[in-house]
Amino acid sequence: MEALRDRLPKHQMPTTRTYTIRHIDREAEQIWVDFVTHGDEGLAGPWAERAQPGDPISFFGPGSGYSPRPDADWHLLVSDEAALQAIARSVESMSLDASGLVLVEVRSEEERQQIDAPAGVEVRWLYRGADFTPETTVLADEIRRTELPPGDVQAFVHGERAQMKEIRRHLVKERGLSRKELSISAYWAYGRKEQDFQAEKKTPAGQIDDD
Ligand SMILES: Cc1cc2nc3c(=O)[nH]c(=O)nc-3n(C[C@H](O)[C@H](O)[C@H](O)COP(=O)(O)OP(=O)(O)OC[C@H]3O[C@@H](n4cnc5c(N)ncnc54)[C@H](O)[C@@H]3O)c2cc1C
């Protein structure tokens, strides 16, 4: 991408999508990436649905900043399918004596995946029972009715943009979570292509942190 950036005008640059490395198997020389498929719209989802062994793919990166803090009293991790791999990696990198709560919303029980969490970390699966829409999602309601333990919490919350805005407001304003201990971002936006919503993130209306 860097080499292309030097050569091509902006409008000719390839369109990119952002994904999480779930696992690297050095012996098998594999990088595991899990794509949510969501119908015919978009580039990456439909590509993954049709992908065959041997299909080429180019990538650059990685870029990441978050890692669970070993001295936090407890951890709160919240996601939908798009951030499930990021959540799983984070939980699996925690120390064995870590405490926490993981809330993951997926379509149905079939979408449930193995997450090797420390004994003190509860992994709670939430089932929408339908494709994601602002009406079918249950994540924000579940957080509202969940009792959160007191103490020094580190939170990692990622998913659909409007949900992230709502959850952020609730956690900061109603639960008093410290902004600096809250890693929250939109991984995708309902009804918008990635390049559009990433551009909107640079405007006030597109920001999670709107207050
Ligand atoms: C740091 C980071 C890591 C990410 N890791 C992953 C990952 O490991 N796996 C993963 O699947 N996604 C991941 N995502 C989200 C992914 O980048 C977006 O979902 C992206 O929009 C998918 O591109 P697309 O070409 O399929 O759809 P786009 O062209 O971006 O969008 C087309 C349409 O599909 C809808 N759409 C996009 N994503 C979803 C979705 N998840 N569910 C339902 N509808 C959707 C859009 O609202 C739009 O209407 C990550 C995002 C970020 C920022």
Q: Which domains does the chain have, with CATH numbers?
A: 2-50 (no CATH), 74-206 (3.40.50.80)
Centre of ligand 1 to C-alpha 49, Å, is: 13
pLDDT of residue 25: 96
| Ligand 1 nearest-atom number relative to CA 132 | 43
For ligand 1, say whether the CB of 36 is within 6 Å of any of its atoms.
yes
Distances (CA, A) of 207 to 39, 64, 76, 183: 26, 19, 22, 14
Residue 137 has pLDDT above 80, yes or no: yes
Measured between alpha carbons, how far is 104 from 167 in angstroms, rounded to an integer? 14
CB of 19 shorter than 6 A to ligand 1 = yes
Q: Is there an atom of ligand 1 within 6 Å of 82 CB?
A: yes
Give 77-102 pLDDT, tens digit per residue.
Answer: 999 999 999 999 999 999 999 999 99
Q: How confident is the model over 157-191, as pLDDT tens digits?
A: 999 999 999 999 999 999 999 888 899 999 999 99
Q: How confident is the model at residue 64 (pLDDT cuts 50, 70, 90)?
A: confident
Sequence-separated (6 or more) residues with CB below 8 Å from residue 76: 100, 101, 148, 153, 154, 155, 156, 157
* Distance in Å, CA 58 to ligand 1 centroid: 17
If you measure from the C-alpha of residue 39 to the centroid of ligand 1, how many angstroms do you get, rounded to a whole number? 11
pTM score of the predicted model: 0.93
The pLDDT of 120-146, averaged and rounded, is 97
Query: 70 or 204: whose pLDDT is higher?
Result: 70
- pLDDT in the model for residue 206: 66
Considering the chain, what is the average pLDDT of its residues? 92
